[in-house]
Amino acid sequence: MHAWLYVRGALVLVALVSGMVSTHASGVDTGLPLWQIAFAVFVFGVVGMLFVIGIQAFNPRSASLWGYPSWSRNPFTMREPLQFFHFGGFFFLAAGLGALVRAVFMRSGLSFEPVVFACWGAGILVGVWLCTVVFRRKMVGA
């Protein structure tokens, strides 16, 4: 039962360390301020979760009831999509935060990729939480 806690934790830790040791090309120029891109990516994560999970709520192949996202559950089961996206949100958030920590220590300033990863991961996690509220008829357990 706790095996998935260790698997999830290890993979999120790998994402964090990967973000800390990777080098990111900071030459991305979208023509928009970084805060606008960060906000858009965050909103995309939230709305995307509501859309994707909304489709899965009516999919006959998904489980009739879903457990609330938990670190001790298998994130790779296709019958409970919230488990996968819960894990994915933490994975992207950890990768982005790791790269942001690297930027602070290297004094290289904020760059596009770490901010996008961190905001997208946070948006996914907020979206997963909203899905547990919006689709509460599918949720079981506490």
Count of the separate structural domains present in the chain: 1
> Residue 127: is it exposed, middle or buried by C-beta count within 10 angstroms (0-12/13-18/19+)?
buried
| In a domain? residue 23 | no
- In angstroms, rounded to a whole number, what is the distance separating the alpha carbons of residues 33 and 57? 36
| In a domain? residue 13 | no
Assign residue 89 a region (left: φ > 0; alpha: ψ between -120 and 50; beta: otherwise).
alpha
> Residue 51: is it exposed, middle or buried by C-beta count within 10 angstroms (0-12/13-18/19+)?
exposed
- In angstroms, rounded to a whole number, what is the distance separating the alpha carbons of residues 118 and 71? 19
> Residue 139: is it exposed, middle or buried by C-beta count within 10 angstroms (0-12/13-18/19+)?
middle
Residue 63, domain extent: 3-8+44-140
**According to the model, what pLDDT value does residue 24 have?**
63
| In a domain? residue 34 | no
| In a domain? residue 124 | yes
**Averaged in consecutive runs of 10 residues, what is the pLDDT profile of the chain (142 residues)?**
90 95 70 89 96 92 92 91 96 94 80 89 98 94 61
| In a domain? residue 67 | yes
| In a domain? residue 26 | no
* Whole-structure pTM value: 0.90
For residue 139, the cross-strand partners are 66
- In angstroms, rounded to a whole number, what is the distance separating the alpha carbons of residues 49 and 74? 19
| In a domain? residue 89 | yes
